[in-house]
Structure 1
Amino acid sequence: MTENKKRQTVLVTSGTGKTGRRVVERLTALGVTVRAGSRKGGGEARFDWEDESTWGPALRGADAAYVAYYPDLAAPGAVEAVRAFGRIASENGVRRLVLLSGRGEPEAVAAEEALRASGGELTVVRAAFFAQNFSEGVMAEGVVAGEVAFPAGETAEPWVHTDDLADVVVTVLTQDGHAGVVHELTGPRLLTFAEVAAELSKAAGREVRYVPVSGPQYAGLLQRYGMPAPEAEWLAGLFTALLDGHNASVTDGVERVLGRAPRDFTDFAREAARAGAWDGRGAPVA
């Protein structure tokens, strides 16, 4: 495959998110001109999925875009938003699109197809649950408190390291040969939430328990965190559907793109503990 990064400009739609900021860092290190999109904008490109007027200016002059839709491609309205984004990207001459999608999400596939219809060179990266959800999201607070509640029961998940995902995205953005391809990314092994809690306990040096809850119970927890009821109920329903066992398998997606094995969850847990993710020394939870 040939590299294609000279004088390239790439829009990263969620440049401060879990995967977006890692993609920005890697592209910048390669000498690629990056527009790190964010809702506030600041010195970077203003990009807000809820404000279509920000999309054209952010896309203008870009050669490629990493598309990470918020809150999720399975969310109501995602198909329409992604279709409109694809149209505007095409109008602005953006030829290469890399879309972050969810593994095993039928609704997300509909959004993938809507973006593919734009006619650009689309590559889809379907990811398993992120290991970093335990260090950079609401579940990090549970780790700190010593108790992680989630509607997963005993279902195993092949947790993917977001550094691996970012490495794949950057490779796809800067090298030819991936147009029209769907890459499914997972970690190297399956872990239940109870096994995850054991890994986190070992890394953090204190007990972290997994507490299985039902979907409605989890929606109630999210509402207590301040999430509106409709959004909480939708998110709990999505997690319950995804963790019914149909995603309990690993893929070789990371190895096929990068030529190396994916990082293990144990590696993530040790890295996060060393960085102070659960003792106040790490980056703010986001």
Structure 2
Amino acid sequence: MTNLVVGGTGKTGRRVADRLTALGLPVRAVSRSSSPSFDWADRAGWGAALDGAEAAYVTYQPDLAMPGAVEDVRAFTELAAARGVRRIVLLSGRGEAGAEAAEQVVRASGLEWTVVRCAWFMQNFSEGHLLGPVLDGVVALPAGEVAEPFVDADDIADVAVAALTGDGHAGRVYELTGPELLTFAQAADELAKAAGRPVTYVPVTAAEYAAGAVAQGLPEEEAEGLAALFEEVLDGRNAYLADGVREALGRAPRGFAAYAADASAAWSPAS
């Protein structure tokens, strides 16, 4: 069956698409730059992306906590069901009220659903919005001294592919974390070891974070939304481990030090 990957160029979507392709399965990875294209802000293009798909991995940009996300997910899920999709896997956020509301939409869809609920991606430091700060040596976030169970995007992709292609995952909520809790200061120390350069974590307020993100080119509305989200979820509510990787795959998740060692080339001077 054709597997639709919404957000096919993103951190997890790209990995999911690559794994499905390696398995020899039909894949349609869509994004704003693909053909057919997919944009959450343009529902007119969703039908072409869904045409012929029987399973879908769904990621929402910029985040399920943002205004309008639940309505978008509901409209997409209804259209997917009408177009013949029978299995859906939703990437969700841990400790986010908006994400949980979107999960409920998927659970009530009548489709074979799986929710992959994730902690903070390790790859945010090497592929995402924090790559620049790591290269600059200063990671400033409104996280205080809270601990986070960082999760590897490769583990997320493995779970998502298992849910898309295998049996026994329908009706499951897999809560994914790494194997340990780290403060952002401890994570910065691990990054520094792997990168061979100083990396320091600096706690800031949500307003200071938003202002810095805007100064770096992020649209003001998105920057303020992310700052509010970080302030909400980085309050200690997620400072515990979950066993979703083992439940879905029968193995342990990858730790932060192993991720940092593998990603070290992203922080080398030649990168």
- TM-score by structure 2 length? 0.98
User: Which residue in 1 is equivalent to 2:115?
Assistant: 124
After superposing the two structures, state which structure 1 stretch, 222-231 or 71-80, moved more: 222-231
Out of 81, 86, 96, the residue aligned to residue 87 of structure 2 is 96
- TM-score by structure 1 length? 0.93
1:28 aligns with 2:17: no
The 1:281–1:36 alpha-carbon spacing in structure 2 relative to 1, beyond 3 Å, is farther
Matches of residues 53-64 of structure 1 in structure 2 within 5 Å?
53-64=44-55
* SS, match of residue 242 in structure 2: coil
Contact 2:169 2:248 survives alignment (8 Å): no
User: Which residue in 2 is equivalent to 1:186?
Assistant: 177
* SS, match of residue 266 in structure 2: coil
1:165 aligns with 2:156: yes
Out of 13, 19, 35, the residue aligned to residue 6 of structure 2 is 13
Looking at structure 2, the residues matched to 153 and 240 of structure 1 have their Cα atoms a distance apart, in angstroms, of 10
Aligned AA for 2:98?
A: E
* SS, match of residue 182 in structure 1: strand
Looking at structure 1, the residues matched to 229 and 85 of structure 2 have their Cα atoms a distance apart, in angstroms, of 32
How many matched pairs? 271
* SS, match of residue 3 in structure 2: strand
Looking at structure 1, the residues matched to 269 and 164 of structure 2 have their Cα atoms a distance apart, in angstroms, of 34
Superposition RMSD on alpha carbons, in Å? 1.1
Looking at structure 2, the residues matched to 74 and 234 of structure 1 have their Cα atoms a distance apart, in angstroms, of 8
Identity %: 61
After superposing the two structures, state which structure 1 stretch, 75-84 or 113-122, moved more: 113-122
Looking at structure 1, the residues matched to 51 and 221 of structure 2 have their Cα atoms a distance apart, in angstroms, of 35
Map Cα deviations across residues 71-111 of structure 1 (whole Å, 9 max, x no partner). 11111000110000011101101000000000111111111
Looking at structure 2, the residues matched to 10 and 46 of structure 1 have their Cα atoms a distance apart, in angstroms, of 15
1:240 aligns with 2:231: yes
The 1:117–1:272 alpha-carbon spacing in structure 2 relative to 1, beyond 3 Å, is same
User: Which residue in 2 is equivalent to 1:3?
Assistant: none
Contact 2:8 2:31 survives alignment (8 Å): yes
Looking at structure 1, the residues matched to 198 and 229 of structure 2 have their Cα atoms a distance apart, in angstroms, of 28
* SS, match of residue 138 in structure 1: coil
* SS, match of residue 140 in structure 2: strand
Q: In the TM superposition, what is the alpha-carbon distance from 1:280 to its structure 2 partner? A: 5.8
Task: List alignment gaps of at least 5 residues for structure 2.
Answer: none
Matches of residues 246-257 of structure 1 in structure 2 within 5 Å?
246-257=237-248
Aligned AA for 1:14?
A: G
Looking at structure 1, the residues matched to 96 and 49 of structure 2 have their Cα atoms a distance apart, in angstroms, of 28
Out of 200, 203, 217, the residue aligned to residue 209 of structure 1 is 200
* SS, match of residue 15 in structure 1: coil
* SS, match of residue 277 in structure 1: helix
